[in-house]
Amino acid sequence: MKNSIVSVLFIFITSMIYAQKIEIKGLVLDKQTMQPVEEATVQVKGTNIYASTDNEGKFSIETTEDKTLIISHISYQKKEVLASNAAKILLDEKKVSLDEIIIASNPLDDISHSIVVMDDAKKGSQPRNAAELFNDISGFSVQKRSATASEPSFRAFKYEEMNIKYDGGTKIVHACPNRMDPITAHVIPEEVSKIEVVKGPFTVRFGQNFGAIVNMVTRTPTPDDYGFHGSLQNGFETNGSNFIARGELLYAKEKYDVTLNAEHRKFGDYTDGNGIETPAAFTTNSYSVKMGYNPKSNQRFQLDWRQKFGKDIKHAGLPMDSPKDNSNSLGFDYKIQQVSDFIKSISVKSYVSAVDHLMTNEERPSFMKMDAQTTVTSQTYGGKLEFGLTPTKKMMLFTGVDADIINRDGERTRIIKLRPDGTPFPEYSRPVFIDKVWQDATSSDYGIFVEGTYKLSNQLALASGLRTDFVSASIKDPAEDTTIMGGMVVPGFESLYGPGFDAVSETT
């Protein structure tokens, strides 16, 4: 009995001694150059205890040897080590990232009110389009107009009040006036590896919108992906006889990588809980090619091309359907990091995208009375040049210029088949009306911005920004007065705004 008591006391006293806080000293070095890493943040995991490395990479922090330390730096990958193994810590330099807008590892990089949302359950749920990835995300709702025409809104912000991009820069703007072809209809959902959200006007680096900024990030290869990889996926749903097939091929090496994605989606009308069949059919075929080249460890070039072909799309919320909804986009990116002690990074982004959308009433009962077709197109192009500067070790400064130019055009043709009394018009004398939808409209936004973050402590940073935008809009094909059946005149652009307004060249 005495031996047992002595053993218990010995274990208890040993545990108390082991749990006592001691001063942990360590050294943080660059794994490649073995040079000291200055201003790295060292945190005791799960606590508010922090320390920073000095100009020799040294630090000291008070904790117990069984605790975990988290080491982070603006230029290196985050690392976790046991305090007992902290004598020498080697950090790997961050891989150049072209696609992301948020890096939440350092107070100087983090954007206020920003989150990263994505999970494996959503990626494997056979979504109809990328908008369904936003389901159940706090603050978001999805506005659904048809099986393919769904787009997210955040709190009270929607449409152009939000700034939705993919891979940090590329935009695809809808051509349809009823927004039956939003950006989320043109991205392969399974390609999206995560969704970044800035919840309001807390940064000026990504456009002049005051609503949420949403960035859908597609996957970029990492060193773990080196070699040749491939995957095939397919799925089937009985309600609607929905079928999805997708394939991916990836070849990656240290200097370059190539990723190919292709998908086929064929969905039918579904039956709701009351046994009512709802129009929801569509067919899409999409593919994308992403090529990257890394001439050095701190540089990356990237080219991204994608195309989507949509057909036989039924819209339950409109009296027309879409026999065609095609799009394509091309993006080019370049980034270099650690140019000098003062210049942290230089990044260049450019893109061009186009949408070709057709709506008709051929499959609707109204086609017996009138043949209506609306052909619309949109072209969007733009880019961004940004410099990341470090005037001091506690300050990060971003400055640059960006541009987004949008052009849209289209017309609606209506051929009247029946008179008001129900008798048919002879085919050769059917009235034909042509309405100008976008009037060849162009809007341009050129912006200049500067945004700085000053690190007050390991937990607190002060951020401020200034942005100026030069916005213009014009139309090149203004609508004239139109006379419809019954002799009623619908005023055109000149009648609405007066003869003194130069509708062709005037810019507002």
| 15 Rama sector, left if φ>0, alpha if ψ -120 to 50, beta otherwise | alpha
How many helices and strands in the chain, by DSSP H and E?
A: 3, 29
Identify the residue with better confidence: 224 or 279: 279
The model's pTM is 0.77
For residue 506, tell me if it sits in a domain.
Answer: no
Cβ atoms < 10 Å from Cβ of 124: 11
Confidence of residue 6 (pLDDT cuts 50, 70, 90): very low
CA–CA distance, 171 with 382 (Å, rounded to integer):
9
Decide if 494 is inside a domain.
no
Output the pLDDT for position 203. Answer: 85
Cα distances (Å, whole numbers) of residue 179 to 317, 378, 379, 386, 476: 12, 12, 15, 31, 22
Question: Which amino acid is located at 371 in the chain?
Answer: D
CB distance 160 to 153 below 8 Å: no
- The reply to whether 371 falls in a domain is yes
Residue 504 lies in a domain: no
Comparing 265 with 316, the larger pLDDT belongs to: 265
77 and 118 part of one domain = no
**Residue 56 and residue 127 share a domain:** no
Scanning the structure block, which residue is given the tokens 């749903």?
Answer: 237
Backbone phi and psi for residue 191, each to the nearest 5 degrees, phi listed first: -75, -25
Are 118 and 177 members of one domain?
Answer: yes
Lookup result for tokens 């040294």: 58
The confidence score (pLDDT) of residue 481 equals: 65
- Main-chain dihedrals φ then ψ at residue 440, nearest 5 degrees: 50, 60
Domain boundary, last residue among 55, 76, 91: 91
CB-based contact 212:197 (threshold 8 Å): yes
pLDDT at 17 over 50: no
Cβ count near 370 (within 10 Å): 16
332 shares a domain with 249? yes
- Residue 16 reports pLDDT greater than 50: no
Is residue 382 domain-shared with residue 441, that is, in the same domain?
Answer: yes
* % of the chain exceeding 70 in pLDDT: 84
From the CB of residue 277, how many other CB atoms can be counted at a distance below 10 Å?
11
Residue 487 maps to a domain: no
Q: How confident is the prediction for the chain on average, in pLDDT?
A: 83
For residues 213 and 195, give the distance between their C-alpha atoms in angstroms, rounded to a whole number. Answer: 10
Tens of pLDDT, residues 284-328: 999 999 999 999 888 999 999 999 999 999 988 788 999 999 999
From 76, 91, 106, give the residue that closes a domain. Answer: 91
What is the domain count for the chain? 2
- Burial environment of residue 451 by CB neighbours within 10 A (0 to 12, 13 to 18, 19 or more): buried
pLDDT score recorded for residue 262 = 95
Based on the domain organization, do 85 and 129 belong to the same domain?
no
CATH number, domain at 42? 2.60.40.1120
The answer to whether residues 137 and 196 belong to one domain is yes
Query: Do 276 and 347 belong together in one domain?
Result: yes
Q: Is 491 helix (H, G, I), strand (E, B) or coil?
A: coil
Do 381 and 258 lie in a common domain? yes
> Is the pLDDT confidence value at 489 over 70?
no
Report the alpha-carbon distance of residue 295 to residue 300 in Å, rounded: 7
Per-residue pLDDT at 298: 87
Let me know whether 36 and 151 are in one domain.
no
Q: How much is the pLDDT for 4?
A: 45
Convert the pLDDT of each residue in 435-487 to its tens digit.
888 889 999 999 999 999 888 877 788 889 999 999 998 888 877 765 555 55
**Long-range Cβ pairs for the range 269-276 (8 Å, 24+):** 269/240, 269/314, 270/239, 270/240, 270/242, 271/239, 271/240
Residue 496 has pLDDT above 90, yes or no: no
Specify whether the CB–CB gap between 76 and 37 falls below 8 A.
yes
Q: Is residue 207 part of a domain?
A: yes
**DSSP code, position 219:** P
Q: What is the DSSP letter of 165?
A: E
Q: What is the pLDDT of residues 52-108, one digit of tens each?
A: 898 899 999 988 888 899 998 877 888 999 988 888 999 887 765 555 555 444 555
Domain encompassing residue 71 = 2-91
Strand partners, 217: 194
DSSP 8-state class, residue 274:
T
Same domain, 52 and 161: no
- Percent of the residues in the chain that have a pLDDT greater than 90, as a whole number: 38
pLDDT for position 55: 86
Are residues 128 and 55 part of one domain?
no
Instruction: Please report whether residue 360 resides in a domain.
Output: yes
Domain presence at residue 500: no
Containing 15, the helix (H) or strand (E) segment is: helix 2-19
CB-based contacts of 288: which residues, under 8 Å, 6+ apart? 188, 191, 218, 259, 260, 261, 262, 304, 305, 306, 307
